Amino acid sequence: MTCRWYPICPMKRYYKAGKIDKKWVENYCHGDNKSCQRYQMEEKGEYHPDNMLPDGSIDQSLS
């Protein structure tokens, strides 16, 4: 099931721009989105930077 946050998530924008690998979108956004750190933080209303990947790591090359 697609993550409910996907339409506004930076991961969608980064993927469409070719900045992140398809695996991120397949494994988290259209897969197990409840294991996504971004999803969990969004649900709690906690701040997370746009360049934080679904596993919680920060990719400095994304901006």
| pLDDT tens digits, 22-45 | 999 999 999 999 999 999 999 999
pLDDT band at 55, cuts 50/70/90? very high
**Structure tokens belonging to residue 45:** 């209303």
Q: Residue ranges of the alpha helices (H) in 1-63?
A: 10-16, 22-24, 37-44
Global pTM value: 0.92
Task: With a cut of 90, say whether residue 63 has pLDDT above it.
Answer: no
| 1 vs 19: CA distance, rounded Å | 23
| 60 vs 33: CA distance, rounded Å | 22
Residue 24: predicted pLDDT: 97
**CA quadruple 35, 36, 41, 44: dihedral sign:** negative
SS3 58: strand
